[in-house]
Structure 1
Amino acid sequence: MTAQPQDIPLFLDLPGRTSAYRVAEVRPQVSGIVLKRLFEEGSEVDAGQQLYQIDPATYQASVQSAEADLAKARATLKSVEAKAARYADLVRVHAVSRQDYDDAVASLDQARAEIMVAQAALKTAQINLGYTKVYAPIRGRIGKSSITEGALVTANQATALATITQLDPIYVDLRQSSSDLLRLREALAQGQLASSESGGGAPVHLSLDGTAHLYGPVGTLQFSDVTVDPDTGAVQVRAVFPNPDKILYPGLFVRAQVEQGMQKNVVSLPQDALVRRPDGSALVWVVDAQNQVTPRPVSVSRMTAEGTWLVTGGLNGGE
């Protein structure tokens, strides 16, 4: 083969696990008896879809009581307003005392405040009545229901009624060795590597554990953490993948190839073209102008995901 220096993208093979893009635990916000369950376990639900119906009778009564209190407060306000208006005319001609007028004005302010209190109470009652209908907060696949019709639920209980998981897209959390990360940054600083043209959105290829073929859709690198796990010495990397067919589920063990940069002006050689000497150094057999082969020491940086060696020194183009 003829050596042809070129710029080769480098990929790092990393282990990881899938995790849900969003997870919502559905809990009641009011107490009562569940009258209906309005979904099928394991089905897809839309955001805003009603899932449960809690008995609304007591909350409807609370709304009616709050409406009556508001009407009473408004009726009281009309009477106090009329009295305050009359006293305003009478106090000018000294027909009533200044104290009586001040009491009338204070009663007017109090009546207006009572209307605001009644309005707030009515709003609270209406909100609680609305909470008797339990809706899905996100779109996704809903799991099993922890309760059935006739069960008593309480506001903000610890046990979720059901859990909704959004599977499309899906996260893949990867672990990169901190030593690999340091070597990568050193190579970038020394100019041995060029930064990926795709930057923070570097493409990520995924393969499922135990299978040789790659997962179809290509993901994108979302972020790399800035802290090192003291227990494992690894840095977390997160990628996001489209999952339209729901093939990936949270908790799967996967392996991903993440683009790390561009190795500049290197020769890619198959494994059988490179020989390792006892001291660990590498050499290749080069054909000279007289059509004879001689050993040539070379510098090797790493092996690619395809199983070829990247030679960074010792060979010239066309040899």
Structure 2
Amino acid sequence: MTKPTESKTEPGRVLLRLAIPCAILLAGWLGFVRLAGSVEVEPPAQEEEVMLRTRVEELKVVDFPVIVRTNAVVQPHNRVTLAAEIGGVIVKVSPSFEVGAYFEAGEVLVEIDPRNYQTQLAISKAQLAAARSALELTRLTEERKLELIESNAVSKAEVDAASAAREQAEADVDLARSQVKQAELNLTRTKVLAPFDGRVQSKLIGQGQMAGANSALGEVFAIDFAEVRLPISGRQRTHLRLPEFADDPPVNVTLRDAIVVSDDQVWRGIIVRTEGVLDENSRDLFAIARIDDPFGRRTGAPPLRIGQPVIAEIEGEVLKDVVALPRGAVRQLDKIVLVDSVAHTLLPMNVQPLWSDADHVLVRAAAIPEGNWLATTAMTYTPIGSKVEIIPAPDSGPAIADSGSAESTDKVAN
């Protein structure tokens, strides 16, 4: 009785097993159709085109005087160490022989006790007087011998002995005279005199101190003029005519304080010579500038002190027919951007500088194409031929944009 029941349920199970996979496939297909349907995408917003903008400057052909700038330290042209030539006790020190004090040539700066040398001078003079008396006696003896030899009263040997004694007496007089001169010289050396007009840098002795021969008394330096040793590089030398010989014309130089820079406080000098030897490390050539009356004692000018660092400006040659580009408009040492004055399009180019300083880069006028302005605004992207918008100058308005060609061939004395 159970077999008929099993036969009726078998087809239902088969249908159920087939229906499940079909349902899964149908659901997957419906999902695929739905996801694969066209999705409406909004078109991207069109980017607004931005034009390059820059300030410009007219290019003018000028004659540019080169000013070479360098740094140095003021030093005296003559610095010496005063020393005692003789020994003795210091009995007097002049007020002019103090650190920083001025003195004049021939002024007595230090005095050594002269009594020993006065005594030595007196002894030398007495010895000279005795030698002269002995000389006079030998002369009389020689003359008497010469008279007696004619009558054969004395022998030739006695005459020769008298002559030799007279010559010895003459030598003794010369020796005594030299000793007097030496004693007089030693006495004068008890006073140490200033060798030139100068100033005291250091003092090494005091009153009552014992000084030996060749003992250092202090350091002094001359004040008639000071010198500055200016390093000149190879690039700078090409634009200078430095004096090499005594009859070469000097070169003007202006000095400013390197510590407190001021245009009001300047010193004028001249370059009188060069050292003639390049520095072993930097290969610079040192030029020697002279500044008269550095402490302003005659002129009343501010003092230029020894050891003071200064900035020197040396007058160089005048470069003819050049364009002075602002330093800020030159990128990477030699790259500039020009703007066509009519089409307002960019023209980037490289230049070869003739000279440069803190404010300008100089190039030959022939190297700059005519009819262009110089772009002075920094731009990161400067494709050739790109249109630019000219930013008016604050003080001139948009006038430069309508001024036509920026080329200027008028000579300007800078």
**TM-score scaled by length of structure 2:** 0.66
Letter in 2 for 1:301: L
Decide which of 153, 169, 187 is 2:211's aligned counterpart: 153
Q: Distance in 1 between matches of 2:323 and 2:112?
A: 70
Instruction: State the shift of 1:126 in Å.
Output: 0.5
Indicate the residue corresponding to 1:220 in structure 2.
Answer: 270
Indicate the residue corresponding to 1:166 in structure 2.
Answer: 222
Q: Distance in 2 between matches of 1:279 and 1:59?
A: 74
Instruction: State the shift of 1:201 in Å.
Output: 1.0
Q: Deviations over 1:172-203 (max 9, x none)?
A: 1122234654xx1xxxxxxxx68589964111
Q: Deviations over 1:49-72 (max 9, x none)?
A: 011221111100100000000000
Residue 132 of structure 2 is aligned to residue 81 of structure 1? no
How many equivalent pairs are there? 301
Residue 251 of structure 2 is aligned to residue 202 of structure 1? yes
Q: Distance in 2 between matches of 1:75 and 1:279?
A: 92
Indicate the residue corresponding to 1:310 in structure 2.
Answer: 362
Partner of 1:4, secondary structure, is: strand
Q: Distance in 2 between matches of 1:196 and 1:134?
A: 40
Greater shift in the superposed pair: 241-250 or 35-44: 241-250
| Contact 2:104/2:194 (8 A) holds in 1 | yes
Letter in 2 for 1:227: V
Q: Distance in 1 between matches of 2:242 and 2:208?
A: 59
Decide which of 58, 64, 69 is 1:13's aligned counterpart: 69
Indicate the residue corresponding to 1:236 in structure 2.
Answer: 286
Q: Distance in 2 between matches of 1:219 and 1:279?
A: 33
Q: Distance in 2 between matches of 1:195 and 1:201?
A: 9
Equivalent positions of 1:36-47 (< 5 A) are 36-40=92-96, 41=98, 42-47=100-105
| Contact 2:240/2:316 (8 A) holds in 1 | no
Q: Against the structure 1 CA distance between its residues 14 and 299, is the aligned structure 2 distance closer, same or farther, given a 3 Å change threshold?
A: same
Specify which structure has the bigger relative contact order, considering alpha-carbon pairs within 8 angstroms and separated by 6 or more residues.
Answer: 1
Instruction: State the shift of 1:78 in Å.
Output: 0.9
Instruction: State the shift of 1:292 in Å.
Output: 6.2
Greater per-residue strand proportion: 1
Letter in 1 for 2:258: D
Q: Deviations over 1:220-253 (max 9, x none)?
A: 1122222222233322221111313362222222
Structure 2 portions without partners, runs of 5+: 1-57, 297-301, 371-407
**TM-score scaled by length of structure 1:** 0.83
| Contact 1:282/1:300 (8 A) holds in 2 | no
Greater shift in the superposed pair: 309-318 or 83-92: 309-318
Indicate the residue corresponding to 1:189 in structure 2.
Answer: none
Indicate the residue corresponding to 2:305 in structure 1.
Answer: 249
Q: Distance in 2 between matches of 1:162 and 1:285?
A: 68
Indicate the residue corresponding to 2:323 in structure 1.
Answer: 267
Greater shift in the superposed pair: 140-149 or 308-317: 308-317
Q: Against the structure 1 CA distance between its residues 195 and 170, is the aligned structure 2 distance closer, same or farther, given a 3 Å change threshold?
A: closer
Q: Distance in 1 between matches of 2:312 and 2:118?
A: 55
| Contact 1:24/1:138 (8 A) holds in 2 | no
Residue 117 of structure 2 is aligned to residue 56 of structure 1? no
Q: Deviations over 1:146-171 (max 9, x none)?
A: 222211110112xx212222244211
What fraction of aligned residue pairs are identical, expressed as a percent?
Answer: 24
Q: Distance in 2 between matches of 1:279 and 1:25?
A: 50
Q: Against the structure 1 CA distance between its residues 23 and 60, is the aligned structure 2 distance closer, same or farther, given a 3 Å change threshold?
A: same
RMSD: 2.8
Equivalent positions of 1:104-183 (< 5 A) are 104-157=162-215, 160-178=216-234, 180-181=236-237
Partner of 1:77, secondary structure, is: helix
Letter in 1 for 2:278: V
Residue 349 of structure 2 is aligned to residue 258 of structure 1? no
Letter in 2 for 1:241: I
| Contact 1:206/1:256 (8 A) holds in 2 | yes
Decide which of 350, 353, 358 is 1:300's aligned counterpart: 353
